[in-house]
Amino acid sequence: MLVILSSKQAMALKRSSQSLIDIFTKIKNSSKNIALTFSRDLRGIQILVSLQTNAWKMKTLNATVVTRFNHVVSANKNKPAIICQDKVWTFQDLDSFSNKIAQTFVSSGYKPGDEVALLMDNKPEFVGIWLGAAKAGLITALLNTNLKSSTLLHSLSVIQTRALIYDSVFEPVVQDLQKILPSDKTIQFYRYDENGKKVDEKNTKAKSLIPLIEASADRPVNFRGNFTDKLLYIYTSGTTGLPKAAIITNARFFIFGHGIKTFTRLTSKDIVYTPLPLYHSAGGILGASNCLLYSTTIVIRNKFSAKHFWEDCYKYKCTMAQYIGETVRYLLATPQNEYDRKHSVRCVYGNGFRPSLWREFKERFGVGTIVELYGATEGSARTVNIDNYEGSCGFIPKLMPTWLLKRAYQTMLIRIHQETGEPIRNEKGFCEICEPGEVGQIIGMISNKNVLKGFEGYADKEATRSKILKDVFRKGDSYYASGDLLVRDELGYLYFVDRTGDTYRWKGENVSTGEVEAVIGSITNHADTVVYGVLVPGNEGRAGMVAIRDTTGSLDLKDLLIKMKKELPQYAIPIFIRLTADIEVTSTFKMPKFTLKKESYDINLVNDPIYVLDWKNEEYKKLDKETYDKIINGEYKF
């Protein structure tokens, strides 16, 4: 029987057929992606089970870093624990020194739970002092060695500091601090001088620490801590504002330590190069935990040196090495030399590895595996590249359906308002998961019942509350808000994009500062580059501005523009260029943008030459008073 359809019925049937085709295509593609990522997701589940099992075991044993270290020492007394520029400390040396530190604190009247601070460059004593404090039940705040005066005072004031232990090289800094110390704040100062020089206590208000250590017994003190006790404070190194003291418990130290061991397949036979600051979580936890928990020898350096990085790796037979932030770019910027491939490093791990440098790094230095991590010192949002996938910092499993991810998986990517950075909520008031290719904020589930999902926060309770999102996917749940923007691809791989607030909008498009920095960096042979958005009167959004370190004045702006046009969309090409002889770089190799944003392109504030893009003539021209006034008055056409 012949059935004749009306035009409306035919259109409806066509739409239904197309919908079914779309559904089957989506299922087919999804199945294909699951097949492609099955081994990755399976290993990810195995790692998660391993982490959970280890955390449960340590919790059941009520283990602490100290108790675990005691087991390590008993089996490895004469093995090198820490090597620092030819100075070698065995595990026995580290144990003896830390025992004496603990005895020194106890005999001086300090009680479990007291808080002390440590100001010292990288050296074996750094680890020995905070480990010794932990043996006595004290909590040590690891201070950024670049802090001075009021910012140093702030870091000491956000915790209940009873004592400051400092290296003698920081004597001028400490004396300046003592001048502004409030009369109601009592801090005992201990000076550590490895040259044996005694302190004139009348003049410096400090006690010599070495004589006290030498007079102390080399035996454990009568204290036994708990798995959930505070161990350290590590200060977050954000690019704006004053630092916050993040709480590091024994539990968190174990999670990070076992994570690195599992992700990198680390063994006790490995030798790990850790040239990063030990007061930062990268060096102080991800580096030191290998030594204290798993008897791995670590090689440290007083200060990071791109020139000596591979030479040190060769000299000390390192098999693994750490990086962070811009250190990869610094290594690539050094002239090629004999040590580039003379080393035995099989794996590097860290965070902040720019995807655009991935292949160049591997080809030049011959390192087979890059383990790129994502995670904040204090946060519960964590992910890791476990299969050496180029440019990725982790993944969200394809194997798990969305409903299960929301309930069980720790790390998620949610939609946000691009202008404000605030989460977008649906009609039910809940957040929504990003689709592939959609930039969103990475968040981490918080649960007091699961130590892997714990968030102890900061010494400042208000700062802790400000980082918690409530009712994210269902009523009563809580997530850690990272403030970081990431994107995932069709296979679930994650890529870092920017910090919330760093991305800006221009000509109706969102611009990633990290992407623009990577392009300009590659064009300028890895010069220090900072990209940020600045307000221009009469225009929506923010115009792009870049500060480039140019010590010789040889940067060819015409050539730069030609190459940027090939690599970047027009809206992402910076409108302003600031050439400067120096760009501030933090000790954790981040380049703060606060001052640069504040100074903007104001020629009355900035002495450096500033250039503005003239699209009509396709060139950057020097920003003079006449052009500046036109911009301020909204008369300049961008």
3-state secondary structure of 283: helix
3-state secondary structure of 369: strand
- More confident of the two residues 168 and 638: 168
- Reported as a single tens digit per residue, the pLDDT across 391-443 is 999 999 988 888 888 887 889 999 998 767 789 999 999 999 999 999 999 99
pLDDT higher than threshold 90 for residue 615: no
Shared-domain flag, residues 351 and 212: yes
Q: What is the pLDDT of residue 30?
A: 55
Q: What is the pLDDT of residue 4?
A: 58
pLDDT higher than threshold 50 for residue 12: yes
Last residue of a domain, one of 443, 473, 499: 499
Residue 139 belongs to domain with CATH number: 3.40.50.12780
Residue 603 belongs to domain with CATH number: 3.30.300.30
pLDDT higher than threshold 90 for residue 310: yes
Q: Which pTM does this prediction carry?
A: 0.81
CA atoms of 614 and 493, how far apart (whole Å): 39
User: If you ran DSSP here, which 8-state letter would residue 133 be given?
Assistant: H
- More confident of the two residues 571 and 358: 358
**Amino acid residing at 309:** F
Burial string for 143-179 (b: 16+ CB within 10 Å, else e) reads bbbebeeeebbebbebbebbbbbbbbebeebbebbee
pLDDT band at 238 (very low <50, low <70, confident <90, very high): very low
Q: Highest-confidence range of 236-240, 485-489, 538-542, by mean pLDDT?
A: 485-489
Whether the Cβ atoms of residue 300 and residue 276 lie closer than 8 Å to each other:
no
- Reported as a single tens digit per residue, the pLDDT across 444-502 is 999 988 999 999 999 999 989 989 999 999 999 999 999 888 999 999 999 988 777 67
Residue 568 placed within a domain:
yes
- More confident of the two residues 6 and 138: 138
pLDDT band at 366 (very low <50, low <70, confident <90, very high): very high
Shared-domain flag, residues 412 and 276: no
Q: What is the pLDDT of residue 535?
A: 86
> Which of 108-112, 180-184, 205-209 is predicted least confidently?
180-184
> Which of 239-243, 258-262, 266-270, 479-483 is predicted least confidently?
239-243
> Which of 117-121, 223-227, 491-495, 569-573 is predicted least confidently?
569-573
> Which of 30-34, 196-200, 535-539 is predicted least confidently?
196-200
Last residue of a domain, one of 481, 499, 517: 499
Shared-domain flag, residues 527 and 582: yes
Q: What is the pLDDT of residue 98?
A: 98
Residue 318 placed within a domain:
yes
Closest CA to 32 of 413, 495, 398, 401: 398
- The 3-class secondary structure across 317-366, one letter per residue, is CCCEEEEECCHHHHHHHCCCCHHHCCCCCCEEEEECCCHHHHHHHHHHHC
Shared-domain flag, residues 476 and 542: no
Mean pLDDT across the stretch 147-169? 91
Residue 456 belongs to domain with CATH number: 2.30.38.10
Helix (H) or strand (E) holding 499: strand 493-499
Shared-domain flag, residues 354 and 421: no
Shared-domain flag, residues 221 and 183: yes
Shared-domain flag, residues 409 and 336: no
Residue 148 placed within a domain:
yes
Shared-domain flag, residues 395 and 478: yes
Q: What is the pLDDT of residue 402?
A: 83
pLDDT higher than threshold 50 for residue 240: no
pLDDT band at 11 (very low <50, low <70, confident <90, very high): low
Residue 31 placed within a domain:
no
Q: What is the pLDDT of residue 18?
A: 55
Closest CA to 556 of 520, 528, 581: 520
Shared-domain flag, residues 360 and 394: no
Q: What is the pLDDT of residue 527?
A: 79
Domain that holds residue 399: 390-499
Structure tokens that stand for 26 in this block: 């989506």
Q: What is the pLDDT of residue 29?
A: 53
Structure tokens that stand for 212 in this block: 């006290």
Shared-domain flag, residues 101 and 187: yes
Shared-domain flag, residues 540 and 606: yes
3-state secondary structure of 151: helix
Shared-domain flag, residues 135 and 156: yes
CA atoms of 24 and 31, how far apart (whole Å): 10
Whether the Cβ atoms of residue 459 and residue 117 lie closer than 8 Å to each other:
no
pLDDT higher than threshold 70 for residue 267: yes
Mean pLDDT across the stretch 110-136? 97
Structural domain total, the chain = 3
> Which of 386-390, 496-500, 517-521, 526-530 is predicted least confidently?
496-500
Last residue of a domain, one of 460, 482, 499: 499
User: For helices 7-60 and 250-264, what crossing angle results, to 10°?
Assistant: 110
Helix (H) or strand (E) holding 510: strand 509-511
Spell out the long-range contacts of 557-563 with Cβ–Cβ below 8 A and sequence spacing 24 or more. Answer: 557/611, 557/619, 557/620, 558/619, 558/620, 560/520, 560/523, 560/524, 560/620, 561/613, 561/618, 561/619, 561/620, 563/523
Q: What is the pLDDT of residue 566?
A: 82
Structure tokens that stand for 635 in this block: 């008369």
Q: Where are the alpha helices (DSSP H) in 334-470?
A: 358-365, 402-408, 461-465
pLDDT higher than threshold 70 for residue 557: yes
Residue 156 placed within a domain:
yes
Residue 555 placed within a domain:
yes
Residue 585 placed within a domain:
yes
